[in-house]
């Protein structure tokens, strides 16, 4: 291994495979119908076998569950229905023993209205923690952006006890924290330090732009709100040198990259929302142009930073950065019914449903995602092709219990047949882990092979991308890093596509990384409908 590769080995997130899950829908061991931390611990070996290197846990804090667990009533423990802090520590130890890091959601835009801070704050202007929140004597006439249009009509809610209006970006049961207050920032640092001390390796930070908008409040006048991220990054890095901050920043590239900081001193990673939305537009059109445009417009980012790629974000597949007409195209292709859509901006379907169960199209999309420059992120159940349950209201349609077997409750829970689960299973339970493990041609076994290859291709995580085609149904791109190259070709269309492979000095063969069909540099080959190839040049 060269010196360059050794020097960059500490930046583990550049070549990771991230797997996101909701503990309560993953595996239930005590038969109460709700997944638990003991169940997750029992399934760590399954995740390690899949090739996961970083586990991302959605909120498992105590919560009244008004907002899917993001309305938190205590930041320093786990919800008792999931287990205990001891169970959490045992899960961490098991994951680390299998070479797997764990990150958790850091949700500090707001608290639940049942949090002790807010219960105190509402007792009056001089009450402890009153200035932890944002209050007004008169309701402002103008509202900020409504995150849940149709469910809330204003960002301001009246509190009878306090005799004031309080600000909430999300639901009224989630009062926003005043992150311009230094005391609140200290609390955020304590929360971050606490879970790092238990053994987590970092955080996925929820709704980062909103977090910084509140940081720009009156108490931060003439100060840079990005200081909040810089301070948090420095603090967590002192506590743990390999800590990572993965941010949810759904903004255009020119605005999003500000959150990496000038020298990578803010977020380490950011979800690539522009590329994800461009991918769905390209799939709907069977034309690579939207992806090409996104790839060519991706700005240079600090060397230590990284984009996180995904096929399906949890809860909502957001398409809000597409134009109205572009979004209408994607809706028509992948979610034409109104109950498949959400807030007029996104879809609440999983990929197999959107692809009408077509395995060729499903595998094409995942091959594309894994080969795009950045770090791949999976949502639980994607590896077996789980579908959603549209009978569940709102954003929870895609958070159904994990399907382990063909037995009762899909093997998710030992609860009696007919017992109520934390969330109902979809009507279509035709896929499960046990059956797919026994089928060498299953999506699960295919996914394991692709993940293994992806981990063997650091060029895709570290390299510089060059797009070699810019129109039609076939996308060809290459990623170069440290003298090595990977070429990827994908046909988004339902007809064969001819492509010409690149050539370079010293190349004698292009080794097929996902099959046995090696090619020659400069050769013209045909990709079958929805076909894909990963190739590595050899001298």
Catalytic residues: 206, 248
What strand order describes the sheet that includes 135-136?
A: 135-136, 164-167, 156-159
Phi and psi at residue 196, in whole multiples of 5°?
Answer: -65, -40
Task: Name the DSSP letter for residue 384.
Answer: G
Looking up tokens 């409750």 gives 409
Report d(CA 81, CA 17) in Å as an integer: 28
Q: Which residue pairs, CB below 8 angstroms and at least 24 apart, start in 36-43?
A: 36/81, 36/82, 36/83, 36/87, 37/78, 37/82, 37/83, 37/84, 37/87, 37/88, 37/90, 37/91, 38/83, 38/87, 38/90, 40/91, 41/87, 41/90, 41/91, 41/94
Q: Could you tell me where the beta strands, DSSP code E, fall in 148-196? A: 156-159, 164-167
CA R_g for the chain: 23
Residue among 337, 363, 367 nearest 351 (CA): 363
Report d(CA 523, CA 517) in Å as an integer: 12
Q: Are strands 244-247 and 269-271 parallel, antiparallel or unpaired?
A: parallel
Residue among 357, 373, 535 nearest 453 (CA): 535
Helices 85-97 & 182-198, crossing angle to 10 degrees? 60
What number of CA atoms fall less than 13 Å from residue 195's CA on the CB side? 29
Residues in contact with 18: Cβ distance below 8 Å, sequence separation at least 6, in sequence order = 52, 53, 54, 55, 56, 103, 246, 308, 375, 376, 377, 378
Report d(CA 480, CA 418) in Å as an integer: 54
* C-alpha pair distances (Å), 283 with each of 49, 104, 362, 490: 30, 31, 11, 11
Residue among 413, 386, 514, 529 nearest 456 (CA): 514
């Amino acid at each position: 291994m060269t010196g360059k590769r050794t020097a960059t080995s500490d930046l583990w997130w550049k070549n990771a495979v991230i797997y996101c899950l909701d503990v309560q829908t993953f595996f239930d061991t005590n038969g109460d119908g709700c997944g638990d931390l003991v169940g997750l611990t029992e399934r760590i070996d399954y995740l390690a076998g899949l090739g996961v290197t970083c586990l991302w846990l959605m909120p498992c804090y105590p919560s009244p569950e008004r907002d899917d667990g993001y309305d938190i009533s205590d930041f320093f423990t786990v919800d008792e229905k999931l287990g205990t802090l001891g169970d959490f520590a045992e899960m961490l130890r098991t994951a680390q023993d299998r070479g797997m890091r764990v990150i958790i959601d850091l949700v500090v835009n707001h608290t639940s209205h049942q949090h002790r801070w807010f219960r105190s704050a509402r007792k009056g202007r001089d009450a402890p923690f009153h200035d932890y929140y944002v209050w007004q004597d008169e309701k402002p006439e103008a509202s900020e952006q409504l995150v849940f249009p149709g469910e809330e009509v204003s960002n301001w809610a009246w509190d009878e006890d306090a005799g004031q209006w309080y600000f909430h970006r999300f639901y009224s049961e989630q009062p926003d924290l005043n992150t311009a207050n230094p005391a609140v920032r200290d609390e955020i640092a304590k929360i971050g330090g606490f879970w790092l001390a238990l053994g987590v390796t970092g955080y996925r930070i929820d709704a980062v732009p909103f977090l910084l908008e509140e940081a720009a409040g009156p108490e931060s006048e003439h100060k840079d709100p990005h200081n909040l991220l810089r301070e948090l990054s420095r603090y967590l890095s002192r506590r743990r040198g390999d800590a990572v901050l993965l941010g949810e920043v759904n903004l255009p590239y020119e605005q999003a990259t500000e959150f990496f900081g000038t020298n990578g001193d803010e977020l380490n990673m950011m979800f690539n929302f522009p590329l994800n939305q461009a991918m769905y537009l390209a799939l709907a059109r069977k034309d690579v142009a939207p992806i090409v445009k996104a790839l060519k417009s991706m700005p240079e980012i600090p060397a230590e930073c990284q984009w996180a790629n995904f096929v399906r974000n949890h809860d909502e597949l957001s398409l809000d950065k597409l134009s109205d007409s572009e979004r209408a195209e994607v809706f028509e292709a992948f979610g034409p019914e109104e109950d498949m859509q959400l807030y007029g901006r996104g879809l609440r379907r999983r990929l197999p449903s959107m692809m009408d169960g077509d395995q060729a199209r499903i595998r094409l999309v995942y091959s594309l995602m894994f080969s795009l420059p950045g770090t791949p992120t999976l949502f639980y159940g994607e590896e077996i092709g789980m579908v959603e349950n549209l009978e569940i209201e709102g954003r929870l349609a895609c958070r159904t219990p994990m399907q382990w077997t063909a037995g009762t409750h899909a093997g998710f829970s030992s609860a009696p047949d007919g017992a109520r689960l934390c969330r109902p299973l979809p009507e279509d339970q035709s896929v499960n882990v046990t059956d797919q493990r026994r089928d060498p041609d299953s999506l699960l076994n295919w996914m394991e092979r692709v993940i293994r290859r992806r981990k063997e291709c650091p060029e895709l995580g570290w390299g510089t991308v060059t797009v070699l085609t810019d129109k039609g149904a076939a996308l060809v791109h290459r990623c170069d890093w440290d003298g090595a190259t990977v070429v990827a070709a994908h046909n988004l269309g339902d007809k064969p596509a001819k492509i010409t492979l690149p050539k370079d000095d010293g190349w004698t063969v292009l080794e097929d990384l996902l099959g046995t069909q090696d090619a020659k540099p400069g050769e013209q080959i045909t990709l079958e409908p929805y076909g894909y190839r990963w190739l590595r040049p050899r001298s």
